[in-house]
Amino acid sequence: MTNGSAIQVRGLRKVFPGGVEAVSGVDFDVRPGEVFSLLGPNGAGKSTTIGMLTGTVAPTGGSARLAGFDVATEPLAARRISSVLFQDPVVDRPLTGRRNLEIHARLWGVPGREIDGRLEAIVDAFALAELVDRPVGTYSGGERRRLEIARALVSEPTVLFLDEPTVGLDPRIRLELLDVIVRLRDRSDMTILLTTHYLDEAERLSDRIAIMRAGRIVALGSSRDLIAGLGDPILELHVHGDPGAALASLGRAGIARADAFAVGSTLIVSARGRSAGEARAAIVAAGVEVLTAVERRTTLDDVYLWFTGDDLAEAA
């Protein structure tokens, strides 16, 4: 059963040889036409999840369906209605852009009489006319990325996977590509599953966001729901000294609860009616210096840090 979902994932799990569990049994549904982001630090399991959904990574357990097609038992049908933009460049560099587009069209079963028309439309839509007859090896990083997105769309997929679509691109090209994805979202009924570790990207593009950490989904909802879950507003305190001791002092004063956390020397505490001044006083009383203390709106960054803070601290 599809349950009306474009993507249905149940207990999906991947253990790589050597025992590394990259994805530890994730469950989620993506509605038709929805843009859904998997957000998380490097190594959280986002790309492995996409790999299992696109048939390039063999799942260890669980199940997944794309538009009702089981990716394990009906792999051809599942792959026929989906396309993927990989994190790394995956193109035939010696061939022209047009040939790369045409190969995709033929393998995805676009009828021969429609291929030229589809290619012309996609070339126009992505402003590739001046590039498309050159070997892809001569493209810049941004041009190649644009071609890869165009290629993924030639077959008019029901489900589109975008795995870190803007990683490694310079800021201007990144913003251009985000515009492309926004237009795509606004103009079509396509379901998009996006992975990223850029919070602004996830917030701007997504209807819902799942935050992954160490192979598990630790939070799922719209950005508004996720922010509301953490509490709004928030107190942000920058301390000079032991942040653990500072957090403990906030706890003793009844200001910090279990959802308070520290990233380096910065403390994030849900305000719940308490002021930044009260928090500062509690910390100073414990002998820790407070450099700044402000009350501000909760952002998706705070939610992300709350759920992945340890990972981020380790990565830093």
Partner 1 sequence: MATIATPAADRPESMRSIFAHVATLARRRSQLTVRTPRELFVPLLTPILFALVIAPALKQALHTSVAYESFIAVGTIGLLVPLNTMFAGLSVIVDREAGAQRELLAAPVRRPTLVLGNLAVAFAVTAFQIAALIVASVARGIHFDATAGGAAWFLAASALFTIGMYGAAETLASRVPKQEEYIARVPAIAIVPWFLGGSLFPIAALPIGLAWLARLLPITHALALMRYGLLGEVGGLRDIWGMTSAPMMAWLSLLVVTTFAAVLTAVSVRIFARSALR
In order of 165, 267, 275, the CA distances from 291 in angstroms are: 38, 11, 16
Site for partner 1 in 45-64 (CB under 8 A): 51, 54-58
Query: Residue 219: CB partners within 8 Å, gap ≥ 6?
Result: 209, 210, 211, 226, 229, 303, 307
Are the C-beta atoms of residues 175 and 146 closer than 8 Å to each other?
Answer: no
Strands ordered across the beta sheet of 20-30: 20-30, 7-16, 61-66, 69-70
**Which has the closest alpha carbon to 26: 35, 34, 38, 17?**
38
Q: Taking the CB of residue 254, how many other CB atoms lie within 10 A of it?
A: 11
Please, which residue, 58 or 316, has the CB nearer to partner 1?
Answer: 58
The CA-atom distances, in angstroms, between 219 and each of 139, 161, 177 are: 39, 20, 27
Stretch of 82-90, 194-202, 240-248, 301-309 lying at the interface with partner 1 (CB under 8 A): 82-90
Q: Which range, of 73-81, 178-186, 227-235, 236-244, touches partner 1 by CB under 8 A?
A: 73-81
What is the footprint of partner 1 within residues 187-246 (CB under 8 A)?
189, 191
If one asks whether residue 284 binds partner 1 (CB under 8 A), the answer comes out as: no
CA distance 124 to 71: 33
Cβ closer to partner 1: 76 or 258?
Answer: 76
Smallest gap from residue 144 Cβ to partner 1 (A): 12
Nearer to partner 1, 31 or 204 (CB): 31
Instruction: Check binding of 31 to partner 1 (CB under 8 A).
Output: yes
Count of residues of this chain found to bind partner 1 when the rule CB under 8 A is applied: 47
Q: What is the dihedral of CA 210, 157, 50, 141, to 10 degrees?
A: -100
- Sole binder of partner 1 in the list 74, 156, 278, 310 (CB under 8 A): 74
Closest distance to partner 1 from the beta carbon of 313 (Å): 29
Stretch that binds partner 1, among 91-99, 171-179, 246-254, 306-314 (CB under 8 A): 91-99
Q: 69, 126, 139, 304: which one contacts partner 1 (CB under 8 A)?
A: 69
Torsion angle (degrees, nearest 10) of CA 70, 76, 79, 81: -90
Q: Of the listed pieces 70-78, 126-134, 165-173, 231-239, which binds partner 1 according to CB under 8 A?
A: 70-78
For partner 1, the closer of residues 54 and 196 by Cβ is 54
Least distance between partner 1 and beta carbon 40 (Å): 19
Is residue 157 part of the contact set for partner 1 (CB under 8 A)? Answer: no
Minimum CB separation of residue 106 from partner 1 in Å reads 4
Greatest distance between any 2 Cα atoms in the chain: 77
Strands (E) in the chain, as ranges, are 7-16, 20-30, 35-39, 61-66, 69-70, 82-85, 159-163, 191-196, 208-213, 216-221, 234-240, 261-263, 266-270, 289-296
The residues that touch partner 1, with contacts defined as CB under 8 A, are 2, 4, 6, 16, 31-34, 51, 54-58, 67-69, 73-80, 82-84, 86, 90-95, 99-100, 103-104, 106-109, 151, 158, 189, 191
